[in-house]
């Protein structure tokens, strides 16, 4: 145990960036680098490579001991201060890329996720403008890695614009769906509006987001795509000092092209190929998603926990045969055994009812992990963990979970080692 602890300390010290993530800072000029990394090895019972367990119809899986890939993302931002400029304080440039690969496979990636120029603070305020490719708003639940708010793409926008006691944002973002046999490119266009910082009660704030979406042939006019629209709205209430922790309550609704209700930046690529008739366009515009999500987080001296409850209903039966309800509940408690060692468990249950197929089923994922971190705290990183995972699922999901090693069973075990780090 002491030898492993010493090894962890040495690796942590070797990986710690100097001056946090700031590579350069002088007279208002800055270069900042951020990143996230997870890497590991794992195996499943009777299988040479670890399988991951994901309920069919669910948009997420519970992460602990249930990740089957290595992943690295790196982002940088350089800021050039503009002295004695009454309208603009700085010009900045941001870039982000990522690399990933499933266990046992090669690492690939390197494509730009963000590549943009930013201008701020405008006219002596906190307002900022940008143009390029950007992730402007990503909100997730950490234990599932699920982005319930996903505002990204190529375009331009403004954010942190002060309007009294609140802040306003707007972005126009375009994402490519597909190239129609070299006759034209089909895009999804999103207009996203947001207001944050609405005070509702002591320690409580509200955020409002609205999305207007559209798919149409804006390239050559020869693809035959019918103009299809959609909209979405999201309310997010954040509460501090609730039972010693914090709580987020999210309500989302989306229709038509925005039917994901902010969970995705665009429709799947194949959607554009289906919009070749007025009826298909009408069927997609009638599609809808309603989502209620609550996440609670507590971080104490002896233990910590993140938990969530979700209910989601999706209906687009006439367009792509989807008519289902999804219920999910899960938690990741952590018990601190000292300043470095901790015992972490995770329990996640997904239950799906599919009215289109007249079926229903569940997936139960359980993980126990021994972890080392530099200090106490749920989010103390880097974290080195050894874990054991068990999954059980209903007979109706047989052949759809744990592919390809567990298609003939309804339960499985997995184990592995993993390191997770961000800076």
Structure tokens at 209: 């987001």
Q: Kindly report the average pLDDT of the chain as a whole number.
A: 91
What pLDDT was estimated at residue 104?
82
Instruction: Classify residue 54 by its DSSP letter.
Output: -
Assigned domain for 89 exists: no
Interval 255-268 mean pLDDT: 95
For position 181, what pLDDT does the model report? 61
CATH number, position 313: 2.40.170.10
CA dist 159 and 148 (Å) reads 19
Q: pLDDT class for 21, splitting at 50, 70, 90?
A: confident
**What is the Cα–Cα distance from 319 to 323, expressed in whole angstroms?**
10
Radius of gyration of the chain (CA): 23
**Among 213, 389, 201, 207, which residue's Cα sits nearest to residue 284?**
213
Confidence (pLDDT) at 20? 46
Q: Taking the CA atoms of 207, 237, 60 and 102 in sequence, report the sign of the dihedral they define.
A: positive
Q: What is the pLDDT of residue 4?
A: 40
Banded model confidence at residue 183, pLDDT cuts 50, 70, 90? low
Q: What does the alpha-carbon distance between residue 177 and residue 169 come to, in Å, rounded to a whole number?
A: 25
| Residue 308 belongs to a domain | yes
Query: Would you say residue 13 has pLDDT above 90?
Result: no
Residue 241, number of CB atoms within 10 A of its CB: 11
**Residue 272 is part of which domain span?**
63-69+130-422
CA distance 58 to 363: 10
Residue 55 lies in a domain: no
- CA-nearest of 340, 199, 177 to 266 is 177
| Confidence (pLDDT) at 220 | 55
CA 38/CA 99 separation, integer angstroms:
11
E strand map for 300-380: 303-316, 322-336, 341-354, 359-372
Angle at 103 between CA 98 and CA 107, to 5 degrees: 35
Summarize pLDDT for 371-415 with one digit per residue, the tens: 999 999 999 999 999 999 999 999 999 999 988 888 899 999 999
* 53 assigned to some structural domain: no
Report whether pLDDT(339) > 80: yes
Residue owning tokens 């002896």: 302
d(CA 145, CA 61): 8
Flag whether 306 is in a domain. yes
**219-251 pLDDT, tens per residue?**
656 567 889 999 999 999 999 999 999 999 999
Residue 173 located in a structural domain: yes
Which pLDDT band holds residue 346 (cuts at 50, 70, 90)?
A: very high
Rounded to an integer, what distance in angstroms lies between the CA atom of residue 404 and that of residue 365? 18
Eight-state DSSP code of residue 408: T
Express each pLDDT in 120-178 by its tens digit.
999 999 999 999 999 998 999 999 988 999 999 999 999 999 999 999 999 999 998 87
Predicted confidence band of residue 9 (pLDDT cuts 50, 70, 90): very low
Tell me what pLDDT residue 105 has. 86
Name the helix (H) or strand (E) containing 5: helix 2-15
Question: Does a structural domain hold residue 145?
Answer: yes
The domain tally of the chain equals: 1
- Give residue-wise pLDDT tens across range 280-328: 999 999 999 999 999 999 999 999 999 999 999 999 999 999 999 999 9
pTM, rounded to two decimals: 0.91
Q: Among 100-109, 154-163, 190-199, 412-421, which stretch is predicted with the lowest mean pLDDT?
A: 100-109
Within-domain flag for 319: yes
């Amino acid at each position: 145990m002491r030898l492993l602890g010493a090894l962890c300390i040495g690796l942590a010290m070797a990986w710690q960036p100097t001056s946090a993530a700031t590579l350069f800072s002088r007279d208002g000029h800055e270069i900042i680098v951020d990143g996230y990394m997870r890497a590991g090895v794992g195996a499943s019972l009777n299988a040479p490579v670890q399988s991951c367990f994901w309920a069919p119809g669910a948009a997420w899986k519970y992460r602990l001991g249930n990740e089957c890939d290595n992943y690295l993302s790196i982002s940088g931002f350089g800021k050039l201060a503009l002295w004695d400029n009454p309208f603009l304080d700085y010009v900045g440039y941001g870039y982000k890329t990522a690399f990933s690969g499933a266990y046992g496979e090669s690492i690939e990636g390197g494509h730009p996720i963000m590549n943009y120029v930013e201008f701020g603070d405008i006219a002596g305020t906190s307002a900022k403008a940008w143009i390029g490719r950007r992730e402007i708003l990503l909100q997730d639940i950490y234990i599932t890695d699920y982005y319930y708010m996903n505002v990204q793409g190529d375009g331009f926008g403004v954010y942190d614009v002060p309007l009294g006691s609140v802040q306003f944002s707007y972005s126009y973002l375009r994402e490519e769906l597909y190239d129609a046999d070299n006759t034209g490119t089909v895009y999804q266009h999103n207009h996203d509006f947001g207001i944050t910082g609405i005070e509702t009660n002591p320690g409580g704030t509200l955020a409002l987001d609205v999305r207007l979406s559209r798919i149409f042939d804006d390239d050559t006019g020869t693809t035959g795509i019918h103009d299809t629209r959609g909209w979405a709205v999201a309310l997010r209430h954040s509460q501090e000092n609730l039972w010693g922790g914090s709580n987020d309550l999210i309500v989302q609704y989306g229709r038509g092209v925005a039917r994901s209700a902010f969970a995705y930046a665009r429709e799947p690529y194949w959607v554009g190929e289906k919009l070749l008739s007025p009826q298909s366009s009408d069927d997609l515009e009638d599609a809808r998603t309603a989502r209620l999500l609550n996440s609670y987080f507590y971080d104490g001296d002896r233990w910590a926990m993140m938990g969530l409850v979700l209910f989601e209903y999706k209906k687009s039966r006439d367009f792509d045969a989807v008519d289902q309800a999804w219920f999910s509940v899960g938690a990741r408690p952590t018990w601190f055994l000292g300043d470095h060692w901790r015992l972490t468990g995770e329990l996640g249950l997904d239950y799906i009812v599919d009215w289109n197929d007249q079926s229903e089923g569940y997936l139960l994922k359980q993980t126990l992990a021994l972890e080392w971190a530099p200090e106490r705290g749920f989010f103390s990183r880097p974290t080195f963990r050894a874990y054991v995972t068990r999954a059980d699922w209903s007979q109706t999901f047989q052949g759809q979970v744990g592919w390809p090693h567990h298609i003939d069973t309804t339960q499985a075990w997995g184990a592995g080692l993993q390191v997770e780090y961000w800076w």
